[in-house]
Amino acid sequence: MRIAAFCVAFAALAGTILAPRPSLAAGALVLSLVLAMFLKLGPWRSLYSVTLGLLLCATSSIPSIAQISYYPRFGALAALAVCTFAGGGARTPFRALPLPGRLLIAGLGLAAAIAATSSIWSVVPVWTAQQSAALATLAAITYSLATRRWAAEPDLIHGDLAVAFWILTMMFGAGIVANLAHAQFTQVYGGRYEGLINNPNMLALLCLLAIPLGWHLYQHSRRILYLAGSIPGVVSLFMAQSRTAILGLGLGLCWLLLRSGAAKSLRFAALSATALLLLFLSGAATTIAASPLATQISARFTDDPGGDALNGRPLAWSEALRLWAQQPALGFGYASGPSLFQHLRQIGQLTFARDVVHNSYLQWLLETGVIGLPALALMLAACGSALVRAASPGLTWLIASGLLLQLTESAMFGTGQAYPFVFWLAVTAACVLPKSRVEPRDADCAATHGLSRR
């Protein structure tokens, strides 16, 4: 990747976001998209960058940017699906893919078909049809990547993931710069930091993707640049104070260590203990523990603002199960949950104030019913196979953390957002990536770092 070009894009994005007038702030989107076309990434990666940029902008904490990117993101997703399918190169038949890849593509395809069918009985049929089309587009992109683009040149996998990593890193960095400049839009959700994203939990979700991606790319290339690039994501994660994201990332790391064997686990434990001892002896541990951010994070783990340790989520889960029991077979229609909750709240039949279940698995069950379970089972089986297959430590970490986090968040199938887009692309990569491609090789370096290819 042309790192210098991305640095120029980052500087322009940060400078425009800090502009005093909303009209200039909105220009950040246009400027970043124009710059993306001049980064010499090639046609596919330029469109890929624009798509991810639009998905991020659609959830921006700056209203003007979110508004002008709301509909273009769906057009960009459709264009990327067509571009990926129509790209040149060798083709791999579906049946020739590794088992995890076949399970994933079948699961996503079946999920899109069930979602589209559910628009017949959905409480918001037009919205269900629109979101089903977006889910079908995501399924088409993963299918085309697995059987065409990545099948033709597996070395492209690392470079494509690196594009997503640097775009996320640029967004994290711009948010930190804006926060240091005391921009109001970076910290409006109950006083918690949310950067350029309109919700601190969504920001933490994106950090949870970027940090393991950086580790995967470092493992592949052995370039310290990827570890340095992960710093904005780590900083943003703790500034967002998302308890579930911090725990999910930690538990995913535990799974990675267990998969790595006793020797590596003991080495990691020894290094961690040594680092903690040095921090304690130097007095830095006391300073860190007494800092305002550490105090706020500690309070997040000890306070019960929603009446319980999970901030009212168990109530949302019990209410979702109660509603599902009314239509267990078919559910209420894909992506209908927010509209359903708003209607029930207005007529006094809902006891919690949330628009989502805060559990992707329960959300899917509520919206698609029992008929949606086979699709979910196929996707989870693909993720489980990828975890056991362990073709890449970084991607294993990402998938494990992502699956755990979806126990308390409803973002796995929000196809108009950046999180599911990057998550499912990373899962696809883990499902089809040959193990021999994980270790750094001279032949692979050009694909990983020369991101101008295709």
- Tokens coding 342: 């708003």
Judged against a pLDDT cut of 50, whether residue 447 lies above it is answered with: no
Mean pLDDT across the stretch 171-195?
A: 78
Percent of the chain residues past pLDDT 90, beyond the cut: 42
Contact call for residues 215 and 393 (beta carbons, < 8 A): yes
Residue 444 confidence class, pLDDT cut points 50, 70, 90: very low
**pLDDT-based confidence at residue 446 (cuts at 50, 70, 90):** very low
Q: Is the dihedral of CA 71, 76, 81, 82 positive or negative?
A: positive
pLDDT attached to residue 450: 45
170 belongs to a structural domain: yes
Confidence check: pLDDT of 453 > 70: no
Does a structural domain hold residue 375?
yes
Round to whole Å and give the CA distance between 29 and 64: 10
Q: Could you tell me the residue range of the domain that residue 329 belongs to?
A: 3-449
pLDDT of residue 79: 93
404 pLDDT above the threshold of 50: yes
* Residue 430 contacts residue 98 (beta carbons within 8 Å): no
What whole-number distance in Å separates Cα of residue 37 and Cα of residue 52?
Answer: 13
Which is more confident, 358 or 190? 358
pLDDT at 88 over 60: yes
Supply the pLDDT for residue 439.
Answer: 47
- pLDDT computed for residue 206 by the predictor: 95
Question: Is residue 454 one of the residues assigned to a domain?
Answer: no
Task: Examine the pLDDT at 445 and tell me if it is beyond 60.
Answer: no
Taking CA 419 as the corner, what is the angle to CA 83 and CA 272, rounded to the nearest 5 degrees? 125
Confidence label for 419 from pLDDT (cuts 50, 70 and 90)? very high
The full DSSP string for 336-376 is -HHHHHHHHHHTT---S--SS-S-HHHHHHHHH-GGGHHHH
Picking from 79, 80, 83, 101, the residue whose alpha carbon sits closest to that of residue 92 is 101
Sign of CA pseudo-dihedral 429, 430, 434, 436: positive
Dihedral angle, C-alpha 286, 291, 293, 298, nearest 10 °? 50
User: SS3 of 304, please?
Assistant: coil
Cross-strand bridge partners of residue 192: 189
Q: How far apart are CA 167 and CA 172, in angstroms?
A: 9
pTM: predicted TM-score of the whole model, two decimal places:
0.86
Q: What is the mean pLDDT of residues 277-297?
A: 68
Which has the higher per-residue pLDDT, 158 or 63?
Answer: 158
Residue partners of 9: CB distance under 8 A and separation at least 6: 32, 35, 36, 39, 170
Give the whole-angstrom CA distance, residue 362 versus residue 16. Answer: 40
Counting Cβ atoms within 10 Å, is residue 85 exposed (0-12), middle (13-18) or buried (19+)?
middle
Examine residue 335 and state whether it is found in any structural domain, yes or no.
yes
Token pair belonging to 308: 């319980």
pLDDT for the residue numbered 300: 65
- Tell me if 309 is assigned to some domain: yes
pLDDT tens sequence across 204-249: 999 999 999 999 999 998 899 999 999 999 999 998 988 889 999 9
Mean pLDDT, the chain, whole residue set: 82
| Spatial separation of the C-alpha atoms in residues 174 and 180, rounded to whole Å | 10
How far apart are alpha carbons 407 and 244 in whole angstroms? 9
Q: What is the pLDDT of residues 317-365, one digit of tens each?
A: 988 999 999 999 999 999 998 899 888 888 888 777 778 899 999 999 9
Give how many domains the chain has, as a whole number. 1
Tell me whether residue 117 is in a domain. yes
Residue 382 falls within a domain, yes or no? yes
Question: Is residue 255 assigned to a domain?
Answer: yes
**Average pLDDT for residues 45-57, to the nearest whole number?**
90
pLDDT bucket at 60, cuts 50 / 70 / 90: confident
What b/e readout covers 145-174, taking b as 16+ CB neighbours within 10 angstroms? bbbbbbbeebbbbbbbbbbbbbbbbbbbbb
pLDDT tens digits for range 105-147: 999 999 999 999 999 999 999 999 999 999 999 999 999 999 9
